[in-house]
């Protein structure tokens, strides 16, 4: 039983970290698009 409880907690931690990683990638893409849009207007 201890094996399954450890497995479940590890999987939940991995999912939690994965959500932040995917969110960070999307946030970075959005920030990059905004920065590129500002640079193209000034040229």
Q: Where are the alpha helices (DSSP H) in the chain?
A: 2-42
Q: How confident is the model at residue 42 (pLDDT cuts 50, 70, 90)?
A: low
CA angle 20, 31, 14 (to 5 degrees): 10
Q: How confident is the model at residue 40 (pLDDT cuts 50, 70, 90)?
A: confident
pLDDT score at 34: 86
Which residue did the predictor score with more confidence, 25 or 33?
25
Q: How many residues does this entry show for the chain?
A: 43
DSSP 8-state secondary structure symbol assigned to residue 43: -
pTM: 0.62
């Amino acid at each position: 039983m201890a094996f399954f409880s450890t497995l479940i907690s590890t999987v939940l931690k991995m999912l939690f970290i994965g959500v932040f990683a995917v969110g960070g990638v999307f946030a970075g893409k959005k920030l990059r698009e905004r920065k590129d849009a500002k640079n193209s207007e000034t040229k």
